[in-house]
Chain A
């Protein structure tokens, strides 16, 4: 319920936010006349918005008490006891997690999703296909970063650097040596992985927050070098006329090419999911998790910290590199500006929103964050604002992400059975 004290607090906080946003949102200098343009409406909206947001919990309580009152009334007239229906629900995993852990349901869902993905380009136009290709690309990037951040717990803020390495590998090799997409694909991944190793080797002994800032610095270094090393990269003008992927040397029409790229992306994503899934349940995947949980205990249990971290770092980089090659092939051009820190922040948002360490989570995260701004065009300028807010809000209200990770449950009965066999 709302008391006078609550109202005072709401007004106080709203007032504070109005004061806070007053100069940035409420004023503007006209660059021609140097006069002030007042936009006090904005400030008013901030005040109203803050007040509404703050009252939401109170309204929710109000709703609950009305509901309780209603229930009591209902039972009163029917002559039943209201206490019977208040049964505590046993704790259960979320629906998605229950499906994931059940092999049969999982197979069905996977098949349906795959089928939908295959049909999708037949029912929508080229524009939509292109957007979906973008989303698939980000799923791949997200899954790559997920290995590093979600599983191994290494906050990598320069992930975009490896993406850039992949893209430029293809662009440059094609420009100078005429190497085609299929040759460039493994090379891009490999180069990115080598960069990952080179960077990872010296810095992986750093503490978590230092690691974050050094990777961020590395990402910026790569971008600045791409911008300024004009002889090699053509600077900010970028490299254009990169050919798309070829298909058995057949000449494809532009629309066929898009379709082809789409199915290629689907294939890559499926492959990525397959690999990440296998890694997750392997000796290496467990070591990553353990490393994330407690480095010292992990080492004391015989895990080589450096080797394990390097594996995560370079695998993540490998995937970013491959995604970079695809990106270059899809856009037919690469520019340094595509690889700014904000790109890294966006990929991180995908992983954080979906749920760190969760494959399904990353897929949902990428679909939401890439498709939503595309379809809500008028909101697209607020995109980065939204990503920033997501990082903050998720950490505060749901740090495990939309879909929390389930650990594999081993079938104890089969272990017992096997043990008997082994013993006999």
Chain B
């Protein structure tokens, strides 16, 4: 049997798309983990809420008769605003009071938040799948590649690259970014040198949530539907990506996302699509057993 290059490239492209989305969500996990040492379980729900807000806003704007480009811009802004708002509020309610509590407490609280937000959206909206508008137009210059990947794949890749660059710039060169890195290394010390740690933590949650919202919009437009449960699975997978890359490391989150996306795409393409989630979770278990620090992370030794 000949090797089917076309099929291989298609799988590669779809893996890249999946991986980009995982990377966008994983960045939020990794940033929050780096700074407060918490697995923000509700992060996947923020992604889902971002997608819902975009859906509602774009529906409203379409009814009002705005042109497509204006609708996309405004709806995206709304989605980012509300996702950031939810991220900020979740931190204030569920995590901030527990900063000095035993390690399990904020984790349980985060799980509670995740369950709460899922059901909040289910009750507030619907438990059915909703059709999501296709917001990305077909680009003419991508016509020659139409059999391999669509313009929405292309936009997702580009967005991920751009967002990555912006984030790297924020963290490397801005004052907030420096303060974030300082807080991640030693919160007490950062506080002592006059950094408003609460503000930095809030900023981290808001940035992470905004990235999740972008991911939510892109993937929902790509798959064409939304549902209150999408955040849960995507959240766990993105967490897997973050751990795979080395939690706390930003390039790690992107690398982890891409590796996971590829692995899933090829596994479903060559074996079976029913077990897609099983591949991801098995991968997570294997990494944690053999390389708990991930691909780009470094192991910590507990001080005794």
Interface of A toward B, CB cutoff 8 Å: 16-17, 19-21, 23-25, 27-29, 31, 34-36, 42, 153, 155, 157, 202-203, 206-210, 212-214, 216-218, 220-221, 224-225, 227-228, 296, 341-342, 345, 348-349, 352, 381-382, 384-385, 387-393, 395-396, 399
Contact = CB atoms under 8 A, between A and B. Distances in A.
Give the interface size bracket for B toward A.
Answer: 35 or more
B289 A341 contact: no
Nearest to B93: A392
A212 B39 contact: yes
B226 to A, nearest CB: 11
Contacts of B98: 395-396
A210 B108 contact: no
Contacts of B114: 388
Given A27-B56, A395-B106, 19 more contacts: A19-B85, A24-B53, A202-B289, A208-B103, A209-B103, A209-B107, A212-B39, A214-B284, A217-B236, A220-B277, A220-B281, A228-B275, A349-B112, A381-B123, A384-B118, A385-B115, A385-B120, A389-B116, A395-B98
A35 B101 CA distance: 47
A396 to B, nearest CB: 5
Contacts of A345: 111-112, 115
Interface in B225-252: 232, 236, 239-240, 243
Consensus secondary structure, chain A interface: helix
Given A214-B284, A217-B285, A391 B111 contact: yes
Nearest to B89: A20
A224 B278 contact: yes
20 contacts: A23-B53, A24-B120, A27-B60, A28-B125, A34-B62, A153-B104, A210-B288, A213-B39, A213-B239, A218-B285, A221-B281, A227-B274, A296-B304, A345-B111, A348-B111, A388-B116, A391-B113, A392-B112, A395-B105, A395-B106
A366 B65 CA distance: 52
Contacts, number: 167
A224 B275 contact: yes
Nearest to B303: A296
Contacts of A28: 56, 125-126
B109 interface: yes
A390 B285 contact: no
A284 B48 CA distance: 44
A389 B93 CA distance: 11
A29 B59 contact: yes
Which of B78, B97, B112 neighbours the largest number of chain A CB atoms within 10 Å of its CB? B112
Contacts of A218: 281, 285
A209 B108 CA distance: 10
B82 interface: yes
A390 B112 contact: yes
Nearest to A397: B97
A2 B121 CA distance: 34
Contacts of A212: 39, 107
Contact of B277 (A31, A221, A384, A395): A221
B275 A34 contact: no
B60 A36 contact: yes
Dominant secondary structure at the B interface: helix
B205 interface: no
Contact of B63 (A35, A155, A228): A35
B55 interface: yes
Interface of B: 38-39, 49, 52-53, 55-57, 59-60, 62-63, 78, 82, 85-86, 89, 93-94, 97-98, 101-109, 111-121, 123-126, 128, 130-131, 232, 236, 239-240, 243, 274-275, 277-278, 280-282, 284-285, 288-289, 292, 302, 304
A373 B123 CA distance: 16
A217 B111 contact: no
Contacts of B53: 23-24
Contacts of B39: 209, 212-213
Contact of B115 (A34, A217, A220, A342): A342
A227 to B, nearest CB: 8
A389 B236 CA distance: 21
Nearest to B57: A23
Nearest to A387: B115
Contacts of B101: 395, 399
A291 to B, nearest CB: 13
A214 to B, nearest CB: 6
Contact of B232 (A36, A341, A396): A341
A399 B105 contact: yes
Contact of B278 (A208, A221, A382, A391): A221
A387 B113 CA distance: 10
Contacts of B232: 341
A391 B112 contact: yes
Contacts of B278: 221, 224-225
A385 B119 contact: yes
Contact of A395 (B89, B112, B281): B112
A96 B121 CA distance: 39
B123 A206 contact: no
A20 B78 CA distance: 11
Contacts of A217: 236, 240, 280-281, 284-285
Nearest to B55: A29
B97 A348 contact: no
B115 A384 contact: yes
A20 B285 contact: no
A155 B117 CA distance: 21
Nearest to A393: B112
Contacts of B117: 388
B63 A24 contact: no
A142 to B, nearest CB: 15
